[in-house]
């Protein structure tokens, strides 16, 4: 599944097509760079289309070593709209962010559900 990723504040020295393919290649196979990234007309971030598998981790940052052998940490932003959740099969979020992950031991809450405890008190569960 192709996903657009953004690499914010990427240093200009890594913005060549070859460097970007290596960096974004950590995430997945690079399909293409967007026009502004290819022409280096956008400074805030680079945008790359990568092929990811549905079960791949959506790494929030990646690490690579540059030509000076320094370790560089690069933030990765995913275009959430193109992400499909494997838990509920909805688009727009990954399974880590899925609401079904939260409180999976609890029963789904229902509004205005009335029940009596053993002392006869009525409680409203909201």
Q: Which residues of this protein are in contact with Zn ion, per CB under 5 A?
A: 85, 87-88, 98
Q: How far is the CB of 85 from Zn ion (least distance, A)?
A: 3
Min dist. Cβ of residue 84 to Zn ion (A): 9
Q: In the complex with Zn ion, which residue's Cβ is closer, 36 or 98? A: 98
Q: Report helix, strand or coil for 80.
A: helix
Q: What is the dihedral of CA 86, 90, 92, 97, to 10 degrees?
A: -50
Q: List, in order, residues 6 or more apart from 66 with CB less than 8 Å away.
A: 13, 14, 72
Q: How far is the CB of 83 from Zn ion (least distance, A)?
A: 10
Residue 57 φ/ψ, nearest 5 degrees: -75, 140
Q: Residue 16 or 96: which CB sits closer to Zn ion?
A: 96
* 42 or 87: CB nearest Zn ion: 87
Residue 115 CA from chain centroid, whole number: 41
Nearer to Zn ion, 72 or 98 (CB): 98
CA proximity to 49, closest of 26, 32, 69: 32
Residue with tokens 């990427």: 10
Minimum distance, C-beta of residue 62 to Zn ion, in the bound complex (Å): 24
């Amino acid at each position: 599944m192709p996903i657009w990723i953004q690499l914010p504040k990427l240093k200009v020295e890594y913005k060549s097509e070859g460097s970007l393919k290596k960096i974004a290649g950590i995430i997945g196979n690079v399909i293409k760079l967007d026009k502004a990234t290819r022409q280096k007309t956008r400074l805030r971030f680079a945008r790359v289309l990568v092929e990811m598998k549905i079960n791949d981790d959506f790494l929030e940052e990646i690490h690579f070593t540059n030509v000076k052998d320094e370790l560089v940490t690069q933030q990765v932003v995913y275009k959430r709209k193109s992400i499909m959740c494997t838990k509920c099969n909805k688009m727009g979020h990954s399974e880590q962010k899925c609401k079904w992950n939260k409180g999976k031991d609890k029963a789904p809450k229902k509004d205005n559900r009335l029940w009596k405890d053993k002392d006869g008190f009525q409680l409203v569960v909201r």
